[in-house]
Amino acid sequence: MDTVIIGNGILALTIAFRLSRAAGEKDTISIIGKRERTGSATLAAGAMLNSFAEIEADSLDNELDLYRFELSHLATKMWPKFEQELITAAGSCLPSGCRNCQGFQGGGCVDCGTYIVNNTAADDLDDENFDAILNALREFNEPHELISPRDIPNYLPDQRYRATRALYIFNEGWFNPRLMIEKLEAILANSPQVNFINTNVAKLLKENETVSAVELEDGSAIAGENFILAAGAAVSDLVNNSALGIDIQRIFYGVGVSVEIRSPDFPHKKCIRTPNRGLACGIYSVPYITADCNDHILLGASNFISPTPYPYGRITSVESLLKAGMEQINRNFYRADLVRVNVGWRPTSQDTYPMIGRTSIQNLIIVSATKRDGFHMSPLISEYVVAMLNGQPVDKRFDVFAPERSPIRPLTREQAINKAVRHQTSAAYQHGFSPSKSRMPEQVGKMFRDELERLHDQVGAYDWGIPPEMLDMYRYGHAKP
Ligand X SMILES: Cc1cc2nc3c(=O)[nH]c(=O)nc-3n(C[C@H](O)[C@H](O)[C@H](O)COP(=O)(O)OP(=O)(O)OC[C@H]3O[C@@H](n4cnc5c(N)ncnc54)[C@H](O)[C@@H]3O)c2cc1C
- Chain residues binding ligand X by CB under 6 A are 6-12, 32-34, 37-38, 40-42, 44-48, 200-201, 230-232, 234, 238, 256, 258, 300-301, 344-347, 368, 370-376
CB of 121 to ligand X, least distance (A): 19
Q: What angle do CA 176, 317, 474 make, to 5 degrees?
A: 105
**Residue 462: CB minimum distance to ligand X, A:** 32
Closest distance of CB 365 from ligand X, Å: 13
Q: Which is nearer to ligand X, 14 or 330 (CB)?
A: 14
Output 78 or 461, the one with its CB closest to ligand X: 78
By DSSP bridging, strand 165-175 and strand 144-147 are: antiparallel
Measured from the CB of residue 17, what is the shortest distance to ligand X in angstroms? Answer: 13
Give the residue with the Cβ less far from ligand X, 201 or 411.
Answer: 201
Closest distance to ligand X from the beta carbon of 409 (Å) = 22
Cβ atoms within 10 A of the Cβ of 192, count?
10
Strands 284-287, 144-147: pairing is unpaired
Say how far apart CA 303 and CA 254 lie, in whole Å: 6
Output 300 or 403, the one with its CB closest to ligand X. 300
- Residue with Cβ nearer ligand X (313 or 468): 313
CB of 378 to ligand X, least distance (A): 7
Cβ proximity to ligand X, 75 vs 473, nearer residue: 75
Query: What residues does 258 pair with on adjacent strands?
Result: 300, 342
CB of 148 to ligand X, least distance (A): 26
Q: Which is nearer to ligand X, 288 or 375 (CB)?
A: 375
